[in-house]
Chain A
Amino acid sequence: MDYTEKVLEYFRNPRNMGRIENADGIGKVGNPVCGDVMWIYIKVRKNEKGEEIIEDIKFETFGCAAAIATSSVVTELAKGKTLSEAEKISNKDVVEFLGGLPPIKKHCSLLAEEGLKAAINDYRKKNKK
């Protein structure tokens, strides 16, 4: 598999790996074909302006090297961002950050985007009223 140095580096030393107990939102996504699964946990707080910010974010991933690297990158990109900013992070941003992914591995980055969005949605659902 032709992974970039960056992918291998993030795979080797993933950032933000683990679980957040009492997370404010959890996104659980998976790809039925390859069987890979990604869970994203977020902790949200309001800043002085009253905006909701991702204070902490962690991931757990059962998957290939690309899935692990993209999980790690998406959590790094989202950390400290407001929810509306974080929602705009797309799989393209993740792939770009990693310097590309082999074609067959593009869907792994989609999983990262979806996982983050699912976590935010989960938070919103729980904090509706």
Chain B
Amino acid sequence: MIRFASVFKEYPRTGLALSDVSFTVQKGEFVFLTGPSGAGKSTILKLIYLDEFPSKGDVWIAGARSRQVKRREVPLLRRKLGVVFQDFRLLDDRTVEANVGFALEVTGVPRDRIPPKVSRLLTQVGLASKATAYPRELSGGEQQRVAIARALVNDPMVLVADEPTGNLDERATRSVFQLLRDINALGTAVIMATHDLDVVRRADLRVLEINRGQVAFDSADDSRAGTRDAS
């Protein structure tokens, strides 16, 4: 479903951010992306949601090959993905339901189909009671749930989360993580970059460790899994 094939990514001023990265994410998988700051985790996620393109190698997303994707096809591919960030990125001047509805509106969903879908999504993330609140009236964890609801509007096949719990305390972290697992259980693949090794350790899920722009460790890769277990 998502495949990196010998991907290199070079930025104009900072140089090589990824070198020879290869991995595959299957349908419905949950993958942690870990590694030190500056390792290239966000870069990998940007390549997945087509905000960046490889300098060399190929990224395959839902059957589309990055080097063949035309500019005007990017929006349509993005509708197959959901994206969540550390800083939520909600619109402050709109209510919770308007924030979620906005994503439906701008992707051309008919007006009458929007309210039922919004309330379904808010129920799914446990925020039905806060539909008419503004983002500043919510806790960080709640705001991230709104962002997750928004990421789910297009029924994505994969949810891409860049440190979704980076701004949250431990309780909020746990509940947001649980929400991501619930979403994953319904069949959506989740790729989550995180620094929170507690969360990673407690959950028995696939870990892809990035270091200096390379895959240092992949728990799905049997040949290297052993070294990790020993450490």
Decide whether A and B are members of one complex: no
